[in-house]
Amino acid sequence: MAKNKFNKDWLQDHLNDPYVKMAQKDGYRARAAYKLKEIDDQDHLIKAGMTIVDLGSAPGSWSQYARNRLVEFGQKNAQIASGKPDGKIVAIDLLPMEAIADVTFLLGDFREESILLELERAIFQDLRQEKQKVDLVLSDMAPNLSGVAMADAARMGNLAELALEFSQLHLKDDGALLIKCFHGSGYSQIVESFKKVFRVVAPRKPAASRTRSAETFLLGRFLKK
C-alpha cells in the first residue's frame, strides 16, 4: 500500500512538474535538458566550433540541448549551412537512443577497447588536425541504485572515475567535464578525484534538479598538467 502511494505521489509530482511540461512543449525527451541548460547559462560551457562527447546519453535530452546550442552558433556563421550546428556531438550509451539530427550515436560500452576505438574514430574522423581533442565531456550517467548506501556510492564513484579517465585522455587542456553525482557516501571522494585532475572544480545544483533529490552535478575545468 505504501509503495503504491509512493508511486502515485511520484506520478502526480511528475505530471505537475513545470520542467516536464516545458520539455514536452520544447520537444526535449526529458526534463534533464533544463539542468544542462541552467549550468550552461551559468558557466558558458558550450561554444561555437566545439567537439562534445555525451557519455551515457540515452534518452538524448543533453545531446538535444547541446545540438540546439551549436545550431544557434551555426546561424551566426555564414559558412555553416542553415539549420546545421557549428560543432560536433558524439554520444554513446549502453541503451539504444532514438536518432538525433547531426548527432553521431554509438551503442556500446566504452570500457571495451573495440568500442572505445570506434568512439575515438567517430570523434576524430572529420577533424583537420589528427591530434585535436575534445572540448567538452558530458556525463549524465547514473547506476541502477540498490538502496544500499555503500554499494551505490561505489557504483557512482566508478562511473565518475570512468568519465575522469576518458577526459584525461581526450580533453583539451582548457576543456571541461560535467558529471552527475549524488550527495552522500562517496561524494567527497569524487570531489577529491576531480581536484587531482582539474584546476577548477565546482558543484552545481540547477533549479531543474528537484530540491529533495540528492542529485548534484560536478564541473571540472582546465586539466592539470
- Active site residues per annotation: 180
Cα gap 205→207, rounded to integer Å? 7
Set of cell numbers at residue 218 = 560536478
Whether 179 contacts 160, CB under 8 Å: yes
Report residue 190 CA to chain centroid gap: 16
**Beta-carbon count within 10 A of 124 CB:** 18
Classified as helix, coil or strand, 202 is: strand
Distinct helix (H) and strand (E) counts, the chain: 7, 7
